[in-house]
Amino acid sequence: MTESPPVNHPTIDLGCGTWCTINYDSVISSALAILVTIALAIVIARSLKPGQPGRLQALAEWMFGFVRRTALENAPDAGFVVPLAATIGFYILIANYLDFFPITLIPNLHPANTDVNQTAAMAIVVFVVVNAYTIRVRGVGGYLHHLTRPFELPIWARALYTVLNVIEEIAKPATLALRLFGNILAGLLMIYVITLLLGGVPYVGSWFLGPIALAVWKLFDVLFIGLIQAFIFMLLTMVYFGLAREGLEEEHAHSH
């Protein structure tokens, strides 16, 4: 039975302010998710047999093919987007699916993405790589000029839109991080609410309704919502690379 809402993380203070604290439960949880992700990737890679695809290989090839097609459609000259997006999506999926195990029985272990620090870290990595790619394909001047779009408007209107464009760029990592964090944390809070409401009902709630409700919710939340959130984060990562090239061909044609 859950006694308190799962929203706080025990921290270690390194003695140099807010930015020097570590949520050690999140470090343990993410480390486990990383180890499981690497182990499964190795198992899948070693099980591949050219010309003799099994079910696991067929599923892995289909998923990787989808990521590869989508990534190259958005950024044809950025092959590195494929392993980046595939790794992020696979890791988030594994981190979410670890919630199937009774991790609450292990001290300091919880679904890794229920800590906004982890989801923010992944979103910042995507933000930095996307902006580095944008500067590479447009140049520094082209990158700054792109922030003044739409170009058909007069100068004063473009100045207003520049502020909105900068806010939009900053909001991308924030929405990536908060969407994943909010959905996974909400699922954990629902487990707490179900336990709180049905666990207090004598006999029927404790021995029948509670376990059934928890099992149904966890199956829906982890299996479906966990998959959807991993897919959305991965898909948006690839879409952001496509937005970095938005209008690039037209600008080159106009300049020539």
What token pair was written down for 86? 């595939």
DSSP string, 215-254: HHHHIIIIIIIHHHHHHHHHHHHHHHHHHHTTTHHHHHHH
pLDDT of residue 2: 47
At residue 157, the pLDDT reads 82
In a domain, 4, yes or no: no
For 81, 133, 192, the CA distances from 241, given in Å and listed in that order, are: 8, 8, 38
> How far apart are alpha carbons 56 and 102 in whole angstroms?
25
Quick check: is 6 in a domain? Answer: no
Three-class DSSP category at 196: helix
Domain count, the chain: 1
Tell me the mean pLDDT per 10 residues along the chain, length 256: 61 74 83 91 83 78 89 83 91 87 66 88 94 90 86 82 90 93 87 74 57 80 89 93 76 52
Contacts of residue 103, Cβ cutoff 8 Å, sequence gap at least 6: 29, 109, 110, 111
Q: Is residue 72 part of a domain?
A: yes
In a domain, 5, yes or no: no
- What crossing angle do the helices spanning 116-146 and 155-199 adopt, rounded to 10°? 170
Token pair recorded at residue 196? 């709180």
Q: Does residue 51 lie within any of the structural domains?
A: yes
Q: Does 3 fall in a domain?
A: no
Residue 229: the pLDDT is: 93
pLDDT at site 205 = 47
Whole-number pLDDT of residue 179: 93
Structural domain for 29, as ranges: 11-255
N residues, the chain: 256
**pLDDT at residue number 156:** 81
Assess if residue 1 is contained within a domain: no
The answer as to whether 73 is a domain residue is: yes
Q: Is 139 left (phi over 0), alpha (psi -120 to 50) or beta?
A: left
124 within 8 A of 240, measured Cβ to Cβ = no
The C-alpha angle 3, 121, 62, rounded to 5 degrees, equals 95
Q: Characterise 15 by phi-psi region: left (phi > 0), alpha (psi -120 to 50), beta (else).
A: left
